[in-house]
């Protein structure tokens, strides 16, 4: 999550709230094995706390969750002290993080060798990659090859005795192939198909469903009746030797350790791979990220370890994690962030959709800044407010949505979301209609049926969506902001999905907002975001055209610019300069008629248009007044041209640009004030009018001579 600017007092309050919330989720996860949020959402909260503590190191308390692992075991369960502390790996989320970790490993080893703390001389590093199964950790102890104890991780030092339950798992050997004393560490997991079967059975019995395989595995392992566990068909993978009989030689590498576990009869995931370069690690990561949906178990990343045991020993541990390993997480499908505002969008059917504008957060590999709230019934169901910390979810190629609110992080400054009575675009009244399986029909808010059926608000003006869509298409066209790749169909999708309400909203779109949409992939989303970024510096005339002021086209925009006294750099400079002008003052500009003047006065008096200019300014739009014209001879200053017919040497737009650059004005109609009519092949009525008025008419040959002067 992008951490906002906070005062020290605000940061302290946020840190305290986060600490309390994280501690509670640690207790639920590690002690009760009954998490209520996903690992990804928990990681997101933890990341925010780490970030705040880095910004305000003096506020990091000795009780901070960032200093410890797990949670204390429940008193009513038998406690088991682990022979060795059970660590957890730090997380990375991208290739850059992998590079940083690799550099730390190499620097630490070099420093260790120079100091003589290790008896190892020259070194080269290779890594081993393993799949990170989303289950729960178990520590298994064998004496003379017989299983004597199975325990949960607990707080890393003390866990809980779940031996009888572990014995029901078919892939956990009760007797090893060698009569040795050994303690191993593995992952208990439940298959996706088994989760489906269990939930179907729980539905029949009217029992609450398990949210995911990890929750089901954890809930099963804590059952007092071992027969229930046996019926649920838990599975396991063993991946580490924690302790070994003294007379046995400990494997020299992690690869040999896995092979040893396999020989002893443990269930070992076969997908491990030794990698000599970071590129090989990244290829392994990408391969399994693509394959993970096809696997029978849930996968949330890969684990990377230094392969050689001697280097693992030299690297050792820090704080709460080993230096020799790292967890490289797959793009999270859930994350936490803050609702900064809620805007209401209008869809093609007239439905009003509330869209949460979020503090930008990375989810599923992309930064997103918006999430749908579907309708106002959903807002009431979630109880979401502006300022709330929320869990958002993005599964596959869909627009992110808000899953739940973390109410414990509220400060009291949050604001309720008002339900609109009028359309935010056309100001028409809205009416409530039933949605879902019910036929769409008028349904007063007092109707009891709304207690069972979801409903949505609809604008009563059937032209509302079309009008706003056309405004935005007009604004982004070549004559306006010239955003390449943003055509009418895409504009329609953006409005329909609730991503934009007006043209200024376009400038805050991210790749993560766009990539889930139909017609988009990652590359096309990146391309459009670049085009949007390039459009942030726009010629003033094009910007005025893009505003869509009635009766103000290219010509009137050019006339307005000609009479500007001073410099305009930011959008709100326009408001400051033009808002006070009267109708008479506008009509005093040669070429601006009564209709245009009236429209200009009305537009700049409208507070919604002032808000639009402010939004443009906040988005970082800068205006170019065409200072480069000073370097071009102003041979057409105060001269008016009219173009008609088909030109072969220039396109219309190219010729208009040339005339404007030389200080001239291009008009759409012939009048007594016209200086030249440029006539190509098949000229129309403008040609005849010019002849009647005695206006000088130039063909392309004469035009080129004029341009050469």
Element containing residue 341 per DSSP (H, E): strand 334-346
Answer for the pair 391, 373: CB distance below 8 angstroms, yes or no: no
- Backbone dihedral angles phi then psi of residue 205, each to the nearest 5 degrees: -90, 5
Q: Which residues pair with 644 in a beta bridge?
A: 679
Gap between the Cα atoms of 309 and 128, Å rounded: 11
Element containing residue 430 per DSSP (H, E): strand 430-434
Q: How far is CA 112 from CA 52, 304, 320, in A?
A: 31, 21, 20
The residues, any chain, with a CB within 8 Å of residue 706's CB and separated by 6 or more, are: 676, 698
How would you class 653 by CB atoms within 10 Å of its CB: exposed for 0-12, middle for 13-18, buried for 19 or more? exposed
DSSP string over 217-258:
HHHHHT-S-HHHHHHHT-EEEEEEEEEE-TTSPPPSBHHHHH
Gap between the Cα atoms of 19 and 389, Å rounded: 14
Triad 39, 53, 402: Cα angle to 5°:
40
Task: Work out whether strand 273-275 and strand 127-133 pair parallel, antiparallel, or are unpaired.
Answer: antiparallel
Triad 193, 303, 284: Cα angle to 5°:
80
Three-state DSSP class for 573? helix
* Residue 146 known to be catalytic: no
Q: Which residues pair with 318 in a beta bridge?
A: 321
Q: Which residues pair with 141 in a beta bridge?
A: 149, 183
Which is nearest to 290 in space by CA: 260, 246, 331, 250? 331
Element containing residue 285 per DSSP (H, E): helix 278-291
Gap between the Cα atoms of 539 and 619, Å rounded: 16
Which is nearest to 394 in space by CA: 376, 370, 378, 417? 370
Specify the DSSP class assigned to residue 181: -
Gap between the Cα atoms of 442 and 423, Å rounded: 17
Answer for the pair 631, 575: CB distance below 8 angstroms, yes or no: no
Gap between the Cα atoms of 709 and 705, Å rounded: 7
DSSP string over 112-174:
HHHTT-SS--S----EEEEEEESSEEEEEEEETTEEEEEEE-TTSSEEEB-HHHHTT-TTS-S
How would you class 207 by CB atoms within 10 Å of its CB: exposed for 0-12, middle for 13-18, buried for 19 or more? exposed
Gap between the Cα atoms of 173 and 184, Å rounded: 12
What is the radius of gyration, based on Cα positions, of the chain?
A: 34
- The active-site residue out of 132, 137, 394, 542 is 132
Triad 600, 606, 608: Cα angle to 5°:
125
Helix axes 594-605, 571-578, angle to 10 degrees: 120
Q: Which residues pair with 457 in a beta bridge?
A: 352, 432
Q: How far is CA 44 from CA 108, 187, 338, 532, in A?
A: 28, 23, 12, 29
Gap between the Cα atoms of 192 and 573, Å rounded: 59
Triad 324, 329, 330: Cα angle to 5°:
150
- Name the residues annotated as catalytic: 132
């Amino acid at each position: 999550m992008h951490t906002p600017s906070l005062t020290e007092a605000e940061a302290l309050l946020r840190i305290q709230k986060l600490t309390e919330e994280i501690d509670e989720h640690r207790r639920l996860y590690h002690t009760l094995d009954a998490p209520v949020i996903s690992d990804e959402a928990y990681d997101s909260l933890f990341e925010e706390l780490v970030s705040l503590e880095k910004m305000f190191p003096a506020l990091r308390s000795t009780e901070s969750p960032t200093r410890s692992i797990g949670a204390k075991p429940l008193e009513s369960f038998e406690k088991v002290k682990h022979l060795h502390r059970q660590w957890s790996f730090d997380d990375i989320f991208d290739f850059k993080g992998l590079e940083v970790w690799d550099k730390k490993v190499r620097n630490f080893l070099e420093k260790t060798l120079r100091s003589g703390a290790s008896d190892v001389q020259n070194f080269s590093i290779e890594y081993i990659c393993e799949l990170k199964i989303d289950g729960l950790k178990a520590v298994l102890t064998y004496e003379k090859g017989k299983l004597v104890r199975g325990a949960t991780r607990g707080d890393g030092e003390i866990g809980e005795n779940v031996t009888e339950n572990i014995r029901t798992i078919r892939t956990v050997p009760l007797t090893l192939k060698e009569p040795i004393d050994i303690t191993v560490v593995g992952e208990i997991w439940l298959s996706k198909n088994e989760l489906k079967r269990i939930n179907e059975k729980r539905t029949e019995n009217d029992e609450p469903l398990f949210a995911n395989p990890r929750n089901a595995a954890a809930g099963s392992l804590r059952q007092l009746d071992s027969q229930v566990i046996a019926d649920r068909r838990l599975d396991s993978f063993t991946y580490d030797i924690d302790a070994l009989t003294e007379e046995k030689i400990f494997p020299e590498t992690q690869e040999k350790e896995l092979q040893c576990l396999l020989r002893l009869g443990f269930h070992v995931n076969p997908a491990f791979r030794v990698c000599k370069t970071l590129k090989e690690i990244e290829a392994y990561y990408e391969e399994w990220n693509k394959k993970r949906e096809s696997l029978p178990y849930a996968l949330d990343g890969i684990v990377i370890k230094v392969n050689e045991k001697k280097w693992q020993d030299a690297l050792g541990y820090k704080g709460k994690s080993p230096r020799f390993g790292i967890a490289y997480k797959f793009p999270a499908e859930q994350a936490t962030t803050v609702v900064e505002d809620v805007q209401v969008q209008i869809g093609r059917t007239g439905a009003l959709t509330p869209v949460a504008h979020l503090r930008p957060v990375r989810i599923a590999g992309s930064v997103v800044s918006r999430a749908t709230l579907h309708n106002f019934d959903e807002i009431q169901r979630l109880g979401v407010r502006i300022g709330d910390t929320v869990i958002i979810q993005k599964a596959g190629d869909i627009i992110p949505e808000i899953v739940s609110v973390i109410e414990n992080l509220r400060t009291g400054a949050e604001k309720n979301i008002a339900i609109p009575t009028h359309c935010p675009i056309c100001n028409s009244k809205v009416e409530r209609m039933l949605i879902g399986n019910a036929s769409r029909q008028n349904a007063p808010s007092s109707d009891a049926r709304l207690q069972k059926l979801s409903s949505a608000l609809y604008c009563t003006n059937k032209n509302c969506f079309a009008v706003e869509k056309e405004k935005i298409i007009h604004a982004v066209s070549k004559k306006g902001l010239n955003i390449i790749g943003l055509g009418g169909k895409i504009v329609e999708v953006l409005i329909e999905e609730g991503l934009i309400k007006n043209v200024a909203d376009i400038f805050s779109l991210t790749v993560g907002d766009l990539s889930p949409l139909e017609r988009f992939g990652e590359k096309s989303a990146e391309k459009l975001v670049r085009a949007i970024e390039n459009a942030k510096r726009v010629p003033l005339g094009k910007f005025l055209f893009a505003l869509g002021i009635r009766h103000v086209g290219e010509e009137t925009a050019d006339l307005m610019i000609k009479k500007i006294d001073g410099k305009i750099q930011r959008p709100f400079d326009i408001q400051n300069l033009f808002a006070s002008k009267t109708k008479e003052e506008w009509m005093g500009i040669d070429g601006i008629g009564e209709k245009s003047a009236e429209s200009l006065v009305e537009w700049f008096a409208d507070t919604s248009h002032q808000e639009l200019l402010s939004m443009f300014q906040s988005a970082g739009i800068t205006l170019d007044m065409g200072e480069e014209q000073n370097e071009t001879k102003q041979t057409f200053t105060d001269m008016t041209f009219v173009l008609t017919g088909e030109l072969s040497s220039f396109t219309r737009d190219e010729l208009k640009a040339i005339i404007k650059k030389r200080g001239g004005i291009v008009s759409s109609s012939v009048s007594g004030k016209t200086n030249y009519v440029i006539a190509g092949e098949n000229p129309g009525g403008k040609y005849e009018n010019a002849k009647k008025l005695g206006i000088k008419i130039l063909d392309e040959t004469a035009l080129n001579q004029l341009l050469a002067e």
